[in-house]
Amino acid sequence: MARYPPDAPLVRTRFSYRTYPAETKFLKKVMVAGMSKLILPLICLMSLLAAAGEQEREHRKFHLVIGHGGLVLLAGTPEGFALAADGSSFNADGTVSLADKLMAVGKRGALALGGTVAIQDPVGRAVRQEVNVSRMAAAWLAAHPETDIDTASRELNAAIADTLAKFYATRDPGADAGKYQFELIFAGFAAGQPKTLRTRYYLPKVKGGKARTESIAVAVKPGEVLAFGPERVKEELLRGKSNALKTFKAEAPVKKFRESAAPGTFSLQDYIELFDVILRAAESEEGKKLESSGAIVTPTNAFATVTAGEGFAWKKR
């Protein structure tokens, strides 16, 4: 390929290798200047997009993951209280993990957690947080081994309400706004007398709002069985007339309750054995089909009693 003039240096261009000596330095300056003019706007554009992305993430309405809680059971007897709870906790990634829902309160009290025990940010959020009622309660009770149910109820509820307020200060409760989510159920003895304290929690209605609470102080009568969570399995086992759950209905603790005219005379161990059947039925495939609430009930199950003499005691089924 010829060069014009023949002694001119060869400089690569987009379309050919022809150039002139006087233009060489000029073309280099033009290319550098052109790239500078192109790069600067690109940097500015990328900065604006990054800022917009951060702003979008800051103001986006994240959908909190609130799993449907498991099943807690409580019965009163002349001796005291019988309690049982499953061990399920629903996670934001769709898995189910174990959670403590039944705990000792001092020496003569118990705490059971009904409903949802954890409210979590979605997996996709950059910085994830949660309100884990089970862990909060376990930590507080471990730090106050000599507490009583009145003090524990007052202090724990105050701490949980404060944590929920901080959590929802930057979050929209979404579809669960204003709905019931969980409750703290205290059962035990105060001044030698049986006592129960319940506090139900309803989510804030708007971002920055406060959770609504409802306090319930109603005595549990001997022979009364309360379920916190899905109730269809319990009702079918104890009073149902269909063929559903017939294998579980045939078990001795259920038959004894159904045939008894005075369940108020049952012992604490009678109720522990009955609760074992109810939980196993709720965790069975047949039980899951009977329930329509979407609640997740899974082992490991826990059983305990509280009496004036023995206090809190873990029990085996």
| pTM for the whole structure | 0.78
What is the arrangement of strands in the sheet containing 118-120, beginning at the earlier edge strand?
A: 65-66, 118-120, 130-132
**Tell me: the pLDDT tens digits for 156-171?**
999 999 999 999 999 9
pLDDT-wise least confident of 18-22, 77-81, 104-108, 275-279: 18-22
More confident residue, 130 or 29: 130
Q: Mean per-residue pLDDT for 165-179?
A: 94
CATH class of 65-314: alpha beta
273 is written with which tokens? 């054995």
**Tell me: the pLDDT tens digits for 188-218?**
999 999 999 999 999 999 999 999 999 998 8
Tell me if 317 sits within 8 A of 272, measured CB to CB.
yes
